[in-house]
Amino acid sequence: MNILVTGANGQLGNCLRDAARVSNDNYIFTDIADNECTHRLDITDAQAVKKMAKDNDVNVIVNCAAYTNVDKAEDDADFAEILNATAVRNLAEAVKANGGALIHISTDYVFGAEPYNVPCREDQKGTPTGVYGMTKLHGEQAIAASGAKALIFRTAWLYSEYGRNFVKTMLNLTSTKPELKVVFDQTGTPTYARDLADAIFHIIENRKFEGNEGVYHYSNEGVCSWFDFTKMIAEYAGSTACDIRPCHSDEFPSKVVRPSYSVLDKTRFKEIFGLKVPYWTDSLKKCIKNLKEESK
């Protein structure tokens, strides 16, 4: 089977590349910039996407590409819409023409405007609070309109050993700053990109994408605030000198109103795919251990 992965130079794409090393399937890793590990593919170019899918007889597309800079998206709404919605339609139409399936990564940011206080379910109405969330919701809608076979995985607070992310930023700040303020009034669940990549890989390897089309939620188990997340990052890294203090979101003015509560209900995912979801602190320990070993 031929699997095309977009955004392969990002966090999830890199982790999926690691997972796929043991597969007998043919994985084609692509990104807007090519390197020794990826082929160049501009997913905003519909014809290029169709050609890539047709020439390689692609059976599954895993879309890890997205415009993810939440703040910058407020000033770059047109391009965010192109990358998060129009390009997604291109991928859906290309894989549909091949008779294949799309696995698309979406976000908890499709929620937020409603005052939720229980974990968000897949059938809950999307109420994004900013351009990023709105364009990601448009991407989901574009898939539905295309009629393509698709699995959409909404995830949250993604981090890994790759690229720039909250964990790596906080590892640096808590080891170099005497004190740090972190918001405690935004609640969600961190997601280790390796866990999500392993789940996607398992679904592909076992052909569980067939007949299980729909929207699913995937983050690690548990609930925390960004403050709690930072406290655990510092603790597991052994950074004890920094005084980490909780603060309100309004102490850090932003163009974006971030979801105050975006915990994802993963019941459907676990029931359909039969996979155990790791607890967030267990996965965080693994990531920090790996980062420490890499830095030696």
Helix, strand, coil percent content, the chain, rounded in steps of 5: 45, 20, 40
How far apart CA 27 and CA 23 sit, in angstroms, is 8
Which among 191, 184, 165 has a CA at the least distance from the CA of 286?
A: 191
The DSSP code sequence of 162-175 is SSS-HHHHHHHHHH
Tokens coding 131? 């351009």
Q: Is 132 one of the annotated active-site residues of the chain?
A: yes
Q: Which residue has the tokens 């405007």?
A: 113
How far apart CA 229 and CA 200 sit, in angstroms, is 25
From the candidates 27, 67, 116, 132, which is the catalytic residue? Answer: 132
Which among 198, 188, 201, 162 has a CA at the least distance from the CA of 280?
A: 188
Residues catalogued as catalytic: 132
